[in-house]
A and B are shown apart, each in its own frame.
Chain A
C-alpha cells in the first residue's frame, strides 16, 4: 500500500511548488538576511563601509553600463569633427538631428533594421515551435522511443559549436537529399535557430511541473493531444514562453557571423552585418555613430520594459546549467 500511496501524495505538492520557483525568485518579498546581519548593519563601521562601497559600485555601474550607451546616443547627433577632436566634449555641442536621417536612409540602416526584425521574429518562432514540440513530446506524450530522442537532443548541448559550424554552412548551400540552397533566404537563419537544445530542456522542466491531473481530466473529457497542448499546457507556460521569446529575440539581434555567411545579398542583411561594412567604407563618423545608436536602441528598450523577465530568465538559466 505504501508504494502506491507515495507517488500520489508526492507528485501534486512537488508540482505546485516547482513552476513558481524559477519564476518568482525573491524580488517581491522582503529579502532574508545575507552575509551581513541586521545587527551588523547597525554598527557604524560596517554602515560607513557599506555605504561607501554601495556608492562606488553604483557610480561604477552607471559609468560602465549606461556610459557607453549615453555616449553613443549623444555621438549619434554630433558632428564628425566634434567626435574626433574631443570625444568627451561632445556633451556640450549642439545637436545635429540630420545624422539619424542620413544613417536611416543614406546608409540603409532603416531597411537593414527591418531585416533584423524579420530575422529575430522568424528565429524566435522557429525556436518556439520546435522546442515546444520536443518538450511536449518528451514531457507529456512520452513515446517509447522518447529517451533516445531526449538523449540525442541533450548530447548537442555538450558538443562545442565549432565542430558543426563549417558543415552547417555547406548544408545551407546544398541541403542533403532535397538539393536546394537556402543561401540568401531568411530560412538559412530561421531554421537552424530551431535546433536549440537548451530551450528544450528549459521547457521540458516547466512542462514536467504542470500537474498531470489537468491533462488527465481534459483527456477524460475527450481532448486530443493537440487540444491539451493549446488549451492547458501552453496557457500555463506563458511566463516561461515569454522569457524564451525575449532571450531569443535579443540573441538573434546580436547574431553576426552566421547571417554574414549565409546572407550575401545586401538587401537581406541585418544591421549587425551592415555596421562593419559601413565602418569599413568611407561614410562620416557621425553617420556611423548614428547607425550604431539605432541598432542598439531596440534591444535596450526591450530590456528596459521587460527587465524583470530578462533577469529572472537569465538567473533560472544558470540553475539549469548548474
Chain B
C-alpha cells in the first residue's frame, strides 16, 4: 500500500533539486509550508501514537508506580505475567471467544450480503436495518441485552423462548453458556457493518462470469459457490484477519456483561491487562502482557498472510 502511495513522484524531484540546495530556495518552493503542515501531525502522532508504542516496549521491562522513578527490571515482568495461574484460563477463554465468533459471526454477514445484493427493490431498507445495531452505543446495547438475558422465566429472551416451549436458559449466569451469550450479542452488534463491506465488494464482481456460467448450465447455488465466493476471496481473507485481531482484543463486552465471571469463564486477556494496570496499579505487568499479545497477533497475521497468499494465487 505504501509503495503505491508515494514512491512515484519523489525520485525525479530529488534528482533535479540535489545540486543547488539552499535555504531560501527551499522555503520559496513550499518547503516551509510543508513543515508547518507537518508540525501538528507529527506532534499528535508522536505523543499519542508512536510515543506510546515505544514507551510500551520500555515499560514492559520496567517497574513503575508513578511516584518513584521507573527502574529497569529485565524480564521479570514477563516472568511474572507468564507464571500467573490465571493466564492460561484467560488465553483459552479469549481463543474460545474468537473461535465461536468465527463459527457463528463470520458466515452471517456473507449470507446477508449475498441475499441483499440479489434484491431488486428496497435493498436500501434491508441495508439500513442490518446496519442499525452498529450505530447503537455498545454500553447502552449491553445494558439492554443484559436485561434481555435475565435468567428468570420472566426474562425477555426466556419468556419469548417459553412461547415455543424452550428454556429457561441461565444465559450469563452459567459458566458454560456465558461466553456463547456474549458471542450472540457481539454477532448482533457487528454483523451489519461487516455485511455492508461485503455488499460493496459484491458490486465489483464481474457479471459476465454469471452470464457465462448460466449458459454453461450452472444453477444458482453453483454460481454462488463457484463465482461469488471465489470473487470475494480476498475481501473474506482480510475481514477474517481483522475479525480475529478484533476478537483477541475483546474487552467492553465481558467487562460490562459479566466482569469476567461466572467463575472466570469470561475472563479475557484484555480484562487481565486492565486489572493489572487499573486495579493492581502494576503498569509493568500490564504492558508486558500487552506486548506479548501484540507479538502473538503479529505472528498470527504474518502466518495468516503467507498461508492465504498461497491460496489466493492458486
Write 21 A-B pairs (CB below 8 A) sorted by A numbering. A27-B124, A31-B120, A32-B207, A37-B211, A86-B154, A87-B155, A133-B41, A134-B37, A137-B37, A137-B41, A146-B6, A147-B2, A150-B6, A156-B53, A160-B248, A164-B56, A165-B52, A171-B47, A194-B40, A195-B49, A315-B199
Contact B53 A256 (CB under 8 A): no
Residues of chain A within 8 A of B146, CB atoms compared: 279
Q: Which of B28-36, B84-92, B96-104, B174-182 contacts A (4 or more CB under 8 A)?
A: B28-36
Assembled-state Cα–Cα distance A70/B41 (Å): 43
Return the contact of B49 from the options A129, A156, A162, A175 (Cβ within 8 A): A156
CB distance from A257 to the nearest CB of B (A): 6
In the complex the two chains form, what is the Cα distance from A83 to B154 in whole Å?
Answer: 10
Contact of A166 among B139, B207, B286 (CB under 8 A): B286
Within 8 A of A (CB), among B1-46: 1-2, 5-7, 9-10, 13-14, 17, 30-31, 33-35, 37-38, 40-42, 44-45
Chain B, range 33-74, C-beta contacts under 8 Å to A: 33-35, 37-38, 40-42, 44-45, 47-53, 55-56, 59, 66
Q: Which 7 A-B pairs have the closest CB atoms?
A: A318-B197, A315-B200, A164-B52, A143-B34, A167-B52, A167-B55, A163-B294
Knowing A162-B273, A195-B44 are in contact, say whether A87-B220 is a contact too (CB < 8 A).
no
Partner of A292, one of B45, B128, B144, B193: B144
Which residue of the partner chain A has the closest CB to B32?
A225
Q: Which among A12-20, A61-69, A93-101, A236-244 touches the partner chain?
A: A61-69
CA of A150 to CA of B196, assembled, Å: 28
Q: Is the CB of A65 within 8 A of B133?
A: yes
In this assembly, does B117 line the interface, its C-beta being within 8 Å of a C-beta of chain A?
Answer: yes
The answer on a CB contact under 8 Å between B290 and A162 is: yes
Contact with B along A45-84 (1 / 0, CB 8 A): 0100010011001100110111011011000000000011
Q: Which of B33, B117, B143, B154 contacts A34 (CB 8 A)?
A: B117
In the complex, what residues of A have CB within 8 A of residue B17's CB? 144
A138-169 Cβ-contact flags toward B at 8 Å (1 or 0): 10011110110111111010111111111111
A108 at interface (Cβ–Cβ under 8 A)?
A: no
Q: Which residues on B sit within 8 Å (CB–CB) of A88?
A: 156, 159-160
Q: Which residues of chain A have a CB within 8 Å of any CB of chain B?
A: 25-27, 31-37, 40, 46, 50, 53-54, 57-58, 61-62, 64-66, 68-69, 71-72, 83-88, 126, 129-130, 133-134, 136-138, 141-144, 146-147, 149-154, 156, 158-171, 173, 175-176, 191-192, 194-195, 197, 201, 204, 224-226, 250, 253-254, 256-257, 261, 271-273, 275-276, 279, 285, 288-289, 292, 295-296, 299-300, 302-304, 307-308, 310-311, 314-319, 321-322
**A22 → chain B closest CB, angstroms:** 9
Q: Say whether B118 contacts A85, CB under 8 Å.
A: no
B220 touches A40 (CB 8 A): yes
Who on chain A is nearest to B70 by CB?
Answer: A170
Of all chain A residues, the one with the shortest Cβ separation from B5 is A150
B252 at the A interface (CB under 8 A): yes
- Output the least CB separation between B24 and chain A (Å): 16
B 190-245 contacts with A by CB, 8 A: 192-193, 196-203, 207, 210-211, 214, 220, 223-224, 227-228, 234-235, 238-239, 242, 245
A165 touches B135 (CB 8 A): no
**A36 neighbours in B (Cβ, 8 Å):** 118, 220
User: Shortest CB–CB separation between residue A153 and chain B, in angstroms?
Assistant: 7
Which residues of chain B have C-beta atoms less than 8 A from A50's C-beta?
118
| B206–chain A nearest beta-carbon distance, Å | 10
